[in-house]
Structure 1
Amino acid sequence: MADNWVRPYEPGSGRWLVIAWEAFALALLSWATIRQFDLMGHGVRVVACLLAAVWVVGAWRILQLGVYVSAEGVLIRGLLRSRVMPWPEIAGVHLRRATHRLGPWRIESGTTVLLERRNGQTVNTELWEQGVDFHSRPKVFRAVYQEIRARHRTASAPE
């Protein structure tokens, strides 16, 4: 696969808020763990270093999250795993209004970009109109969607 993956958008500033929130939450967890188990000396250092390492790895993954494209396909980087889909496996790129059910109520959660595979399955790209990258930038969301569609059309066009 290609090594020249490009994210067709700049990440939103909301990612930094998420990273800061996670730092606060892990600091609180560290404080609670140290107090709960009456840790001292090395125990405090071990807990602090372990949770700091978790935060660094998590922050790195949060910064890398997103959809990347190349001439060969689409790379979807999630928090826990990454997935590559070559252009020939993709039948189409679509927008979908996402809704969630909570008992008898339907809750609208915005528009997402889906990749439709040739076998009929769909793959969520994690591009969400209300997400941290596009919440206050709907034009950027539409532009990214159009960019992915254009690259798919170019890759699918007969030579």
Structure 2
Amino acid sequence: MWFRPYSPGPGRWLVIGWEALALALLAWATIRQFDLTGQGVKLVACALAALWVIGAHRILQMGAYVGATGLRIHGLIRSRTMSWRDVAHVRLHKASHRVGPWRIESGMTVLIERRDGSMVNTELWDQGIDFHSRPSVFRAVYHELRNRHLAAQNTY
């Protein structure tokens, strides 16, 4: 059984609404650009509505889920499941981006280091839509992941 150890932030609904608006604009532009009528309009509207429903579902599901056997990371495009045995470390990473000669700090993220040496990014970012105004929740989730990992290590 998987569960997300935090409630999603209200900003997810803002993102879903923004995507609906963007896809509606795309539908309008496509219909005007190609002079679509009748069935063409219905096809574009249904295709973009289906894309929005799938995307909205994935946005609502994004995050880190824990279970007795491991950790599951749901991203926008794909999901990854790792057993606790495969996880070497759960750590914080200070993220930054380079813009020319400047380095711009962008906050803390949670990274999962696997035993094979590879790193797995999570959707957990202290400045993200779930934690921006709730830094204590970000810290609690990080500690929950670390504690579950440590507890699982003690069982094998």
Shorter-chain TM-score tier = over 0.9
1:148 is matched with: 145
What is the one-letter code of the residue matched to 1:148? Answer: L
2:41 is matched with 44
Q: Which residue of 1 aligns with 2:76?
A: 79
Provide the residue aligned with 2:63 in structure 1: 66
- Which of 131, 136, 145 is equivalent to 1:134? 131
Correspondences of 1:1-159 after superposition (within 5 Å): 4-158=1-155
**Number of residues paired by the alignment?**
156
Question: What letter corresponds to residue 98 of structure 1 in structure 2?
Answer: A
Cα RMSD of the aligned pairs, angstroms, is 0.8
Structure 2 runs not aligned, ≥5 long = none
TM-score, normalised via structure 1 length = 0.96
- Runs of 4 or more above 4 Å deviation: none
Q: Deviations over 1:80-135 (max 9, x none)?
A: 10000100011111001001111101011100001111122221112000001001
In structure 2, the CA distance between the partners of 1:51 and 1:106, relative to structure 1 (3 Å rule), is same
* 3-state SS of 1:38 partner: coil
* Cα drift, residue 5 of structure 1: 0.3
The residue type equivalent to 2:135 in the other structure is: P
**TM-score, with structure 2 as normaliser:** 0.98
